[in-house]
Amino acid sequence: MQGSVCLFRNSLTIKTILSWSVLLLLSSLTNVHSISLTSSPAQVKPPGESVRLSCQISGYSLTSYGTAWVRQPPGKGLEWIGIIWGGGSIDSGSSFKSRFTISRDTSSNVLFLDISSLESGDTAVYYCAKGDTVVQLSVSTVQKHTHAHTHTCYSESTLTMLNGGIN
């Protein structure tokens, strides 16, 4: 069985407020097992506060596959944040251990990325990737390896930090 490819986009903007917008694109192949992602509701937060990005997953279980978070700052390569495995163990990149927390709610099949003390350096596109999409990072290269007869699904969340107050 071949899988579906789905794309999810959250636009998260910080100016003293955070706002979310959603774009859901679902492309299907033959013998589809539907996979979809749904965003969390709008939030209002000041800079320096915390934020939670989420991926509501249907079509596979978070206890069956690892699911990772990756980000790409503007004009830069991809940065691997970490992965939570099907069994619940977490591996994180060393620069993301202090303010970034990956968690999940297996009863509702939701993956979370909590970021505390938001900074301008957190401006990036954040990707949530299903575990059968293995991401290998080199200096500025990302290779995705997918296995036959699996589902490949990722989501994209854009976090933008802006300077200045509300006009």
Q: What is the CATH number of the domain that holds 16?
A: 2.60.40.10
- Please check the confidence at residue 98 and state whether its pLDDT lies above 90: yes
Burial class of residue 141 in the structure, from the number of CB atoms within 10 Å of its CB (0-12 exposed, 13-18 middle, 19+ buried): exposed
What value does the mean pLDDT take over residues 92-110?
94
The pLDDT value recorded for residue 166 is 35
Q: Name the residue with higher pLDDT: 87 or 141.
A: 87
Q: What is the mean pLDDT of the chain?
A: 64
- The number of domains in the chain is 1
Q: pLDDT for 114-145, tens place per residue?
A: 999 988 788 777 778 886 554 333 222 233 33
Does residue 166 lie in a domain region? no
Q: Does residue 2 surpass a pLDDT of 80?
A: no
The more confidently predicted of residues 127 and 7 is: 127
Whether 134 is covered by a domain: the verdict is yes
124: containing domain: 5-161
- Does residue 121 lie within any of the structural domains? yes
Whether residue 92 is contained in a domain is answered as: yes
Does the residue 167 lie in any domain? no
Closest CA to 53 of 7, 112, 118, 125: 112
Q: Which residues lie closer than 8 Å to 71 by C-beta, 6 or more apart?
A: 78, 79, 81, 124, 125, 126, 127, 159
